[in-house]
């Protein structure tokens, strides 16, 4: 027989709202990029700008992050999206990621802010055909819908590696984060795959802040470095790239930060890590 306390606990649990089902959708299997490396036949790929935005997956009814969390977009923003599943990047402009993150993070979206956001489409989840064919279907669909905030990512071929590198320097000089390469003959695939490659000035990764290292010299009284932990348990410190504001109000313990580095040591530790920004966990 249940005790009175057990019965009360059971009633309490049964009466609680199930927030998980309403606020979160299971993450979708989507394509994730590998890092570009020398020796790849770039003529087999279509190239596009790497947009510094927030990944948005539309399943035909709801817009969500790759984590599965719902994106709090205004009703009018999603009302004109097609029933076709879409994969793309919510984007403001080059160098505007922080402003975009603030917009996306609000539980109650602000219309004037969202009218600046563009949904840059680069894939049709689970669609048939080669990527080249899917890219063409995206372009046709966007042109027919005529939704101002829905845009097709421009995909184009390059003649050779030299042409790719020249283009890369031009985009980066203009403020772009880098380039993406998508194998033109690939069917739709999910997971991390070399059918999709990212080319950036320096590789980047994420690590969890676990402690602060006190500053010395001109940084006395401030944070000198962040002690961080990688997903595999390896620990190291990030001191470069922190602004005075970051040192006075550092990323919270437990937060995920993105850093850039030159290469990995034999032990798998980043060489010359440089703080880039707090990694938004939506």
Q: Domains of the chain: which residue ranges?
A: 31-199, 204-278
Q: 152 CB contacts (<8 Å, ≥6 apart)?
A: 120, 121, 135, 138, 139, 141, 142, 143
Mean of the pLDDT values across residues 39-66? 95
Q: Is 3.40.50.2300 the CATH number for 204-278?
A: no
Among residues 88, 57, 63, which one has the least CA distance to residue 75?
Answer: 63
What pTM did the predictor assign?
Answer: 0.76
Q: Look at the chain and count its residues.
A: 282
Q: Per-residue pLDDT for 27 more than 90?
A: no
The matching CATH number, chosen from 3.40.718.10, 3.30.470.30, 3.90.870.30, 3.40.50.150, for 31-199 is: 3.30.470.30
Q: For the residues 84-105, what does the mean pLDDT come to?
A: 95
Average pLDDT over residues 146-169: 97
Residue 161 has pLDDT above 80, yes or no: yes
Q: Phi and psi for 39 in degrees, rounded to 5?
A: 95, -5
**Cβ pair 235, 198 in contact under 8 A:** no
DSSP code of residue 137: H
More confident residue, 48 or 1: 48
Write out pLDDT tens, residues 184-225. Answer: 999 999 998 899 999 999 888 999 999 999 999 999 999 999
| Model confidence at 148: pLDDT above 70 | yes
50 counts as catalytic:
yes
The sheet carrying 31-35 orders its strands as 31-35, 191-199, 179-183, 45-49
Instruction: Give me the residue label for tokens 């995920």.
Output: 256
In terms of Cβ atoms closer than 10 Å to its own Cβ (0-12, 13-18, 19+), residue 70 is middle
Residue 154 backbone dihedrals phi, psi, to 5 degrees? -70, 120
Beta partners for residue 150, in sequence order:
119
- Write the pLDDT tens digit of every residue in 96-132: 998 999 999 999 999 999 999 999 999 999 999 999 9
């Amino acid at each position: 027989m249940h005790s009175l306390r057990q019965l009360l606990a059971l009633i309490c649990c049964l009466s609680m709202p199930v927030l998980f089902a309403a606020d979160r959708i299971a993450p979708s299997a989507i394509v994730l990029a590998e890092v570009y490396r020398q020796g790849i036949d770039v003529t087999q790929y279509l190239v596009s700008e790497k947009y510094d935005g927030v990944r948005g997956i539309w399943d035909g009814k709801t817009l969500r992050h790759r984590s599965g969390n719902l994106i709090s977009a205004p009703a009018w923003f999603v009302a004109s999206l097609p029933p076709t599943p879409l994969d793309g990047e919510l984007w403001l402009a080059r160098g505007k990621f922080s402003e975009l993150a603030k917009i996306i993070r609000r539980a109650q979206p602000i219309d004037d802010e969202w009218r600046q956001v563009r949904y840059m489409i680069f894939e049709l989840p689970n669609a048939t055909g080669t990527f080249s064919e899917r890219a063409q279907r995206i372009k046709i669909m966007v042109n027919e819908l005529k939704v101002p905030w829905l845009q097709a990512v421009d995909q184009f071929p390059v003649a050779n590696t030299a042409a790719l590198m020249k283009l890369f320097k031009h985009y980066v000089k203009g403020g772009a984060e880098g380039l993406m390469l998508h194998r033109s003959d690939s069917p739709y695939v999910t997971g991390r795959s070399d059918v999709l490659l990212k080319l950036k000035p320096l590789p980047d990764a994420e690590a969890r802040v676990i402690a602060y290292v006190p500053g010395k010299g001109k940084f006395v009284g401030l944070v000198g470095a962040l002690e961080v932990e990688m997903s595999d348990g390896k620990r190291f410190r990030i001191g470069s790239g922190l602004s005075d504001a970051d040192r006075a109000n550092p990323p919270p313990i437990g937060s995920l930060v993105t850093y850039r580095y030159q290469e990995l040591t034999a032990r798998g530790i980043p060489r010359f890590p440089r703080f880039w920004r707090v990694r938004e966990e939506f």
